[in-house]
Structures are given as C-alpha cells and as structure tokens.
C-alpha cells in the first residue's frame, strides 16, 4: 500500500533540499534548449528574446537623443540662445524707472527717486561676529542693534535689514569696516603675529545684498492726488493717470534694437539690475525718464480749486464734493478735484472714500442742472425756440404722478412763462413740458450724442458709463422727469462734458488730462534735450469731436442762461466783471442699495464764462450738505464764485474791471438742537459765524492787490452790490421796482412728494 505523504516526508528530505533539486532540473532543461537551438544553426536565435528587446530600446533611445540634439543645435539654436540672453536682460512690463509727470507749466507733480532695500545672507559672513556687524550697521541706519543681532544668529538664508534707505545711507554701509583675522592664502589658516596672536585686518562687511528700486515721489504732496493716482509696484496696482500709463506701456514696448544689444541692462534671477546707477536705468529700461508726461492740469488753478472745495465741504458739513474746471473748446481739464483727498505717497493710510475719484466713478441724478440740456434739446428738436412761452400751472399730474414746482406752496400758478423765467425760477413744470414735446427716439438720440450712457474715455481707470432708461420703458412720467434731471444716471464728468457742447458751439469734445507725452534728450533726435512727441501718444485713442447741436442752438441757450443770471444780480454766481451762463441744481439723493430717496441732497452749480466766448467751464457738486437751507445757490454757487473770480484774474479775462468779493454768505445758527441758515450780504463767502464751542472755518480770500475788495461791479446797468436789493434763499434777487415776473421770487418751501414715485416731483429747485 502506497503512502499518501509528500515525497520529502517519506524520504526524510527537507523543503530546502527539494527546492534545490527543482532549480537544478530547470537549469538542465534550459541548457538543453540552448543546445538544441545551436544545433539548428539559426543566427537570430543565438540571443535570448529579452536581450533583443533591450537592444532595440537602447537603439531607439539613441536615435531620439540624436534627433533632439540635432534640433537644438541646428534648428532651434538661435531661439534658445535668444531666450538665454533675455533671461538676463530687462524686458518687464512694469518699468523700473518712470518719467516725470508735470503740469501744463512744467511744474513736477510726480517723479521717481532711487532707494534701496538691504538684505543679509548669514552663510556668507565668513567668521564676522554677528553682534559686531549689528553694532556697526546701527551706527548708520536707525536700527535696533539687539534685534538685528538676534536675527543674524538665526539660521536663515536671507534676512531683511532695512527697506527704503537712501543712496547716502547705502554708501555709509558700504564704507563700514570690521576687524577679522587675516587668513593665509597658502595654508588657509589665520596669520599669527610675533606674539602668536591672530593678526587682525579691516574688512568690509560680507554677506550684505543691496537691491536698488525706484519709488514714486510726489513733490506737491496731495495736489491733484485723484488725477495722478498712486503706484504700488509690489502688488502691480495703480490708479489715476498712472494706471492708464501702465496699460499704454504694456501695449507699446520700447525694446532695444539689434544695434543696441551690447547695451542691454543685465538683471539677476529676481529681475534686479546687476549694475546700473540712475543714468543707466534711465537709458535702458523700457519706459525711461526721457519720457515726460505733461498734463493739462494747471497747478495754480488746481490749488485754488482744492482750497475752495475743502472750505465749502467743511463749512456745510457735507459728506464729499467735487469740482471740475474745463476748457470747453478742447476738453482739457485745468483742475479736477475731489474731497476728501489723500497723499499719494501714503495711499496705504487712506480709506476707500478718500481714494475714490467719485466724480467719474459714481453716478447721480443731476437735478436742475439738466434743464440746460433739456432746453437745448428742445430747441435742437424744433419743438421750442428761444422766444417760446409755456403755461406753467405750478403742478400737473402725469401718468398718475404729481409734478410740482419747488415753490408751489408759495406761487401755485405762475402762468405763461418764457425760457428765461424757466431758468431763473427753475420751473419743473416748464422743463417737463419741454421734455414731453421732444419725440422719444429723437430725445434718446440726443442724450446719447451728448455722451450719456457711455464712458468719456478719460485717461483714468474706473470710469462709470451711467445709464439711460430704454425708450421702451418711457412712460409720460419718466420722460417728463428727465426734463428736470431725474430718471437718468450720470457722473459729474459726463455732465460737464455734455454742457461743454452748449458752451463751445455744439461740439462734443472728449475730456482729457494728458496733454503730451514727450521724449527728452535723445541723441538720435536732439542732443540739446528739446522735446519731441513720443510714440506713446498714439495709444491714447482719443475720440474725435463731433457736432451734436447746431451753433444757433448753443448760442440761444447761452443767451437765455446769461439773461437769467443778469436778472438776479445778487446770485453768488453772478460775477459782475464777466458774463456767466450757468444753472444751479438741487436733487434728492437715491437710497444706496435700495429704492426711493433719502433726506440727503446733491447741490450743484455749472457755469461757463465769459458767456459770449467761453474760456472756462466749471462744475461744483456737493454731496449731502447739512445746513438748514441747502440749495445749489447756497452751497455750490458760492464755491463756483470764489474759484471763478480767481480764474478771471489769473487769465486776465477782465483786466480793466475791479472784481468784487463782497458776496453773500451762509450763516449757520444752531440753537437747542435745531439749525437754520440765512443769507447776509457784505461779507466774504469764505467765513462762517460759529456757534458756541465751534471754531470758524476760513480760507484766504483773493489777494487785495490782485482782486480789489468791495469795489462796485456792474453788468449792464445793474449794480451787483446794491444794498436795497433783497436776496431769497436761492440767491435770486428782486429789485425795489421788479419786473412783473419778479413777484414770483420768494423763499421756497420744498413740496411734498408721493411715496416712492418713479422720480422726485417738485424737490429740485435752484
């Protein structure tokens, strides 16, 4: 009987012996197979299949490597060589050194200054005592010696010592010397003196790494801050003119030509120049200091505008304000200010309210200043003419919504009025009827041609386009409310640009703040450094001017506006020495992020002078003034007057006539939590009579030598400082012997409006 046990059990063999026998049998069979192949005499079978496969892979790899080598050396060699060169040459979009920005007179507003960041690499101190290095550095740079010594002891590859040090400070650092043992070049050991002590020598500080960087400086401080903007190279962000210049630079790369390859600026892996002082940087970076930006801004006028704007905002306890001063004939902005403002060199300390140039980023409903354009569009469309009269009933209901004049409670039925009366008394009913008389498509087209609903494309980023409601959504109430400045969202910049078309004869011109971009000191152009226009100007993409209104329309509206101010000689905007065409506005402020209107107001004035041949156009908008009687004539118009009088003298627009600054002022009186205000003549509009515990806010009035004070000035035969004339809250006046329509000039009382109407009715007087 056979045993069922495994062989190695029955034969008493161990598992290891069994495995060894199996390996021997397999090896014997493999040898027999090879011997059989050799006997058949087959050459390709002399090698195992696996070896053939490995050989094929090796050959294929060599072929691929050879092909790649051939491609790199012969076909793509030039391209790779160029890439290697460029890795050490400055080709950055962000310029290392920027040119100056000046005003139109050449006064520098922004320029680059070289500073340095200083770093240390402890691995390269080479035996220098960290404590001694810290002590020496603290003697030339305001540093904490103890803190710096502790940093040096840490095992870090790079340590920041200081940022933004000057060239003088850096030279002082490089001049420092520290005592270290002298090392023998032969033995690489310290050299001993006759006493057997290490011989000490003076050595420069090792392991220091200065990094050169230009920073933007603003010599005039916060002047024109919102126009210039700020620059943050580390975050690659900018605002104002600097932001647009950065975009232009990226489009237009000023790279060196083949002839200048030997003069390329070499940089390290971080993009820092390996060599180069100020002149080197000016010569080799893409946008060098030889590109000078000339703005349209006039620093003198900008200062006046900012001074008067700040005084006006503080005096009326307003939230913010803006003033734009423009040449209406070519769109140049001579001054452009918003308040509150900021210092561009310390932009990181400013909040968003201060940084925002809200005159171009935020939209509002213009209110009564829109009546200038309403009348202009009515004349252009042929629905009215300069001599037209309108039945002003004081109130009317359109589309279920009541519309009232601001003074309806006092004068409910003005009757038949002309267009001078419409401007003088800011008639909502008259403006609404003019708007309703314009065909919808024509109305919308005229608004579009005047620039509403689209950006002006001024050379600054962040501009809003505003909005116009589509004509398909225009009911009668919406169209009527457009006539007195509601139902349309616009920026102050869009408004002044639109009114410029009335001032200059009917042409829409693009507003701009860059006058020229110049190249200076180019040896190829002029070794004397005369200015030549830079190719960068081509990238501004200026919009061409276009005729929007007939010249006759423009002339008619100008005459109407001028007559309305002449009829109100004590209005703050009535300068006396030159004729002014202008209009006030007071509009309710819509609720942010909600529906309806708040209790706050936008007060504004826009006017141009001399009216017959305008040289200057100014717009003042004050947001949320907090005085008892806040109107365009009590808040914005006095600011306009102070600026305009200085500008008249500065440009010599009325050199033979004395300029009176004897303007009305707003006196704010607070008593037991209540406040009221009234006009009082015979004092400068700059001063405010303070209440108990409140200091007066004042700014200098025009120099007596430049602007004589309290000199009578006239327009025609109407004296501007007649004490017998009475002034109402809107700045309009009635003489002792008024014309028939003058009896309508009274102290206004805001009308009551329905809850959440499509647009406010009767709340936008002068």
Q: How does pLDDT run across 386-444, given as a tens digit for each residue? A: 999 999 999 999 988 899 998 888 889 999 999 999 999 999 999 999 999 999 999 99
| Backbone phi, psi, residue 674, to 5° | -105, 165
Residues 6 or more apart whose CB falls under 8 angstroms from that of 345 comprise 216, 217, 218
| % of the chain beyond a pLDDT of 90 | 45
DSSP state of 414: -
> Measured between alpha carbons, how far is 491 from 351 in angstroms, rounded to an integer?
21
Residue 44 pLDDT > 80: no
Structure tokens at 302: 């900008």
Average pLDDT over residues 638-657: 87
Q: What is the pLDDT of residue 528?
A: 52
What is the SS3 assignment for 232?
Answer: strand
Query: How much is the pLDDT for 302?
Result: 98
Q: Is 207 exposed, middle or buried (0-12, 13-18, 19+ CB in 10 A)?
A: middle
* Angle, helix 440-449 to helix 476-483, in steps of 10 degrees: 40
Kindly indicate the confidence band of residue 701, based on its pLDDT and cuts at 50, 70 and 90.
Answer: very low
The helix/strand/coil state of 507 is strand
Q: How many CB atoms lie within 10 A of CB 384?
A: 23
Q: DSSP letter for 622, please.
A: E
| CB of 207 closer than 8 Å to CB of 134 | no
Higher pLDDT among residues 35 and 538, named by residue: 538
User: β-pairing, 108-120 with 159-165?
Assistant: antiparallel
| CA gap 71, 68 in Å, rounded | 5
Q: Return the top range by mean pLDDT from 459-468, 491-500, 650-659.
A: 491-500
Which residues, other chains included, contact 119 with Cβ-Cβ below 8 Å and sequence gap of 6+? 158, 159, 160, 161, 208, 209, 210, 211
pLDDT at 294 over 80: yes
User: CA 403 to CA 481: how far, in whole Å?
Assistant: 8
Distance set, CA 451 to CA 192, 244, 445, 524 (Å): 86, 21, 10, 42
Q: How confident is the model at residue 89 (pLDDT cuts 50, 70, 90)?
A: low
Question: Which pair of tokens denotes residue 398?
Answer: 């359109």
Mean pLDDT computed over 690-707 = 32
> Comparing 662 with 125, which gets the higher pLDDT?
125
Residue 264, class by beta-carbon neighbours within 10 Å (0-12 exposed, 13-18 middle, 19+ buried)? Answer: middle
Classify residue 89 by its DSSP letter.
B
Cβ–Cβ < 8 Å for 605, 565: no
How far apart, in whole angstroms, are the C-alpha atoms of residue 523 and residue 527?
5
Question: Is residue 531 within 8 Å of 587, Cβ to Cβ?
Answer: no
Tokens coding 6: 């495994």
**Residue-wise pLDDT tens digits, 613-647:** 999 999 999 999 999 899 999 999 999 999 999 99
pTM over cut 0.85: no
Q: Is the peptide bond before 655 cis (omega within 30 degrees of 0)?
A: no
> How many C-beta neighbours within 10 Å does residue 361 have?
16
- pLDDT for 186 equals 78
The pLDDT value given to residue 646 = 96
- Position 34 pLDDT exceeds 70: no
Nearest to 579 by CA among 567, 591, 594: 567
Res 720 pLDDT > 60: no
- The answer, yes or no, to whether residue 212 has pLDDT greater than 60, is yes
Characterise 221 by phi-psi region: left (phi > 0), alpha (psi -120 to 50), beta (else).
left
**Category of 543 on φ-ψ map: left (φ > 0), alpha (ψ -120 to 50) or beta:** beta
Find the angle CA(699)-CA(701)-CA(706) to the nearest 5 degrees.
150
pLDDT digits (tens, 9 = 90+) for 170-189: 889 988 988 888 777 777 78
Per-residue confidence at 73, pLDDT binned at 50, 70, 90? confident
Q: Is the dihedral of CA 503, 509, 514, 515 positive or negative?
A: negative
What is the pLDDT, as a whole number, of residue 18?
Answer: 55
Mean pLDDT of all residues in 245-269: 55
Q: pLDDT exceeding 70 applies to what percent of the chain?
A: 70
pLDDT at 756 over 50: no
Note whether 98 and 114 are within 8 A (CB).
Answer: no
Tokens for 597? 């209107």
Residue 674, SS3 per DSSP: strand
In which band, very low, low, confident or very high, does the pLDDT at 362 lie, cut at 50, 70 and 90? very high
Here the tokens at position 532 are: 């030549």
Structural domains present in the chain: 122-206 (no CATH), 301-313+363-510+545-622+633-744 (3.40.710.10)
Burial of 142 per CB tally in 10 Å (0-12, 13-18, 19+)? exposed
Residue 210 tokens, joined = 């200065």
Show Cβ contacts of residue 129 under 8 Å, excluding neighbours closer than 6 positions.
178
Q: Compute the distance between CA of residue 204 and CA of residue 365 in angstroms, rounded to an integer.
A: 67
pLDDT at 690 over 50: no
The single-letter DSSP state of residue 264 is P
**Per-residue pLDDT at 338 exceeds 50:** yes
Range list of β-strands (E), 520-615: 532-533, 546-547, 581-590, 597-609
Quick one: which of 474, 427, 411 has its CA closest to 447? 474
Minimum mean pLDDT among 462-476, 546-560, 691-705, 748-762: which range?
A: 691-705
Q: Which residue has the tokens 């869009």?
A: 494
DSSP symbol at 512: B
Whether 92 has a pLDDT exceeding 90, the answer reads no
List of residues 6+ apart from 242 with CB closer than 8 A:
110, 216, 228, 229, 230, 231
Map tokens 């003697």 to a residue: 139
CB contact at 8 A, 632 and 623: no
- Contact, 136 vs 178, CB < 8 A? yes
The answer to whether the beta carbons of residues 384 and 427 sit under 8 Å apart is: no
The answer, yes or no, to whether the previous bond of 274 is cis (omega within 30 of 0) is no
Q: 176-179 contacts: CB < 8 A, separation 24 or more?
A: 176/136, 176/137, 176/139, 176/140, 176/204, 176/205, 177/202, 177/203, 177/204, 177/205, 178/128, 178/129, 178/132, 178/133, 178/136, 178/202, 178/203, 178/204, 178/205, 179/132, 179/203
Residue 306 pLDDT exceeds 70: yes
Residue ranges of E strands in 520-638: 532-533, 546-547, 581-590, 597-609, 616-623
Q: What is the pLDDT of residue 62?
A: 87
């Amino acid at each position: 009987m056979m045993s069922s046990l495994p062989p190695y059990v029955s034969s008493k063999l161990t598992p290891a012996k069994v495995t060894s026998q199996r390996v021997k049998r397999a090896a014997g069979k493999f040898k027999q197979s090879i011997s059989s192949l050799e006997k058949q005499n087959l050459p390709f079978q002399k090698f195992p299949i696996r070896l053939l496969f490995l050989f094929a892979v090796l050959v294929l790899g060599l072929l691929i490597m050879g092909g790649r080598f051939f491609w790199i050396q012969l076909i793509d060699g030039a391209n790779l060589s160029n890439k290697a060169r460029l890795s050490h040459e400055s080709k950055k979009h962000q310029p290392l050194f920027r040119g100056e920005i000046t005003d139109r007179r050449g006064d520098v507003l922004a320029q680059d200054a070289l500073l340095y960041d200083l770093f240390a690499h402890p691995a390269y101190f080479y035996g220098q005592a960290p404590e001694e290095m810290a002590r020496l550095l603290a003697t030339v740079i305001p540093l904490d010696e103890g803190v710096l010594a502790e940093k040096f002891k840490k095992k870090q590859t790079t340590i920041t010592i200081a940022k933004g040090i000057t060239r003088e400070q850096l030279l002082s650092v490089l001049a420092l010397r520290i005592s270290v043992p002298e090392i023998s070049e032969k033995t690489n050991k310290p050299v001993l003196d006759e006493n057997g002590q290490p011989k000490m020598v003076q050595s420069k500080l090792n392991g220091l790494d200065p990094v050169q960087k230009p920073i933007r400086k603003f010599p005039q401080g916060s002047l024109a801050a919102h126009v210039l903007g700020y620059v943050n190279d580390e975050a690659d962000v900018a605002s104002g003119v600097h932001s647009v210049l950065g975009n232009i630079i990226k489009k237009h790369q000023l790279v060196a030509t083949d002839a200048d390859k030997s003069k390329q600026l070499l940089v390290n892996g971080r993009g820092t120049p390996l060599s180069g002082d100020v002149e080197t940087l000016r010569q080799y970076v893409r946008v060098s200091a030889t590109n000078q930006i000339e703005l349209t801004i006039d620093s003198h006028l900008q200062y006046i505008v900012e001074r008067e704007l700040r005084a006006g905002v503080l005096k009326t306890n307003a939230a913010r304000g803006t003033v734009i001063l423009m040449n209406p004939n070519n769109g140049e902005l001579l001054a452009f200010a918003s308040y509150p403002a900021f210092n561009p060199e310390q932009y990181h300390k400013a909040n968003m309210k201060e940084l925002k140039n809200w005159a171009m980023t935020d939209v509002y409903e213009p209110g009564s200043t829109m009546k200038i354009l309403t009348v202009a569009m009515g004349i252009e469309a042929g629905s009215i003419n300069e001599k037209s009269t309108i039945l002003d009933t004081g109130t009317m209901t359109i589309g279920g919504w009541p519309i009232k004049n601001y003074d309806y409670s006092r004068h409910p039925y003005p009757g038949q009025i002309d267009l001078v009366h419409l401007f003088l008394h800011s008639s909502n009913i008259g403006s609404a009827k003019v708007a309703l008389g314009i065909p919808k498509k024509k109305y919308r087209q005229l608004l579009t041609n005047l620039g509403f609903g689209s950006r002006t494309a001024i050379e600054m980023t962040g501009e809003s386009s505003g909005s116009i409601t589509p004509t398909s959504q225009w009911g009668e109430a919406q169209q009527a409310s457009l006539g007195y400045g509601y139902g349309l969202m616009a920026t102050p910049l869009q408004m002044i640009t639109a009114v410029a078309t009335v001032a200059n004869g009917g042409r829409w011109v693009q507003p701009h703040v860059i006058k020229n971009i110049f190249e200076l000191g180019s040896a190829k152009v002029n070794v004397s450094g005369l200015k030549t226009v830079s190719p960068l100007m081509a990238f501004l993409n200026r919009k061409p001017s276009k005729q929007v209104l007939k010249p006759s329309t423009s002339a008619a509206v100008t005459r109407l506006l001028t007559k309305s101010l002449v009829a109100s000689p004590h209005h703050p905007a009535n300068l006396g020495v030159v004729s002014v065409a202008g209009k006030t506005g007071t509009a309710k402020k819509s609720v942010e992020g909600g529906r309806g209107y708040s209790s706050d107001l936008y007060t504004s004035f826009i006017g141009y002078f001399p009216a017959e041949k305008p040289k200057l156009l100014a717009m003042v908008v004050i947001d949320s003034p907090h005085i008892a009687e806040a109107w365009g004539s009590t808040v914005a118009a006095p600011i306009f007057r102070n600026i305009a009088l200085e500008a008249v003298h500065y440009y010599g627009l009325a050199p033979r006539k004395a300029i009176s600054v004897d303007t009305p002022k707003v006196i704010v009186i607070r008593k037991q939590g209540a406040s009221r205000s009234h006009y009082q003549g015979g004092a400068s509009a700059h001063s405010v009579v303070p209440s108990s515990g409140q200091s007066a806010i004042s700014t200098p009035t025009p120099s007596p030598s430049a602007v004589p004070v309290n000199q009578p000035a006239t327009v025609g035969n109407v004296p501007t400082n007649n004490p017998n004339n009475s002034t109402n809250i809107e700045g309009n006046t009635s003489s002792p012997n008024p014309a028939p329509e003058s009896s309508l000039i009274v102290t206004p009382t805001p009308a009551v409006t329905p809850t959440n109407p499509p647009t406010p009715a009767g709340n936008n007087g002068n």
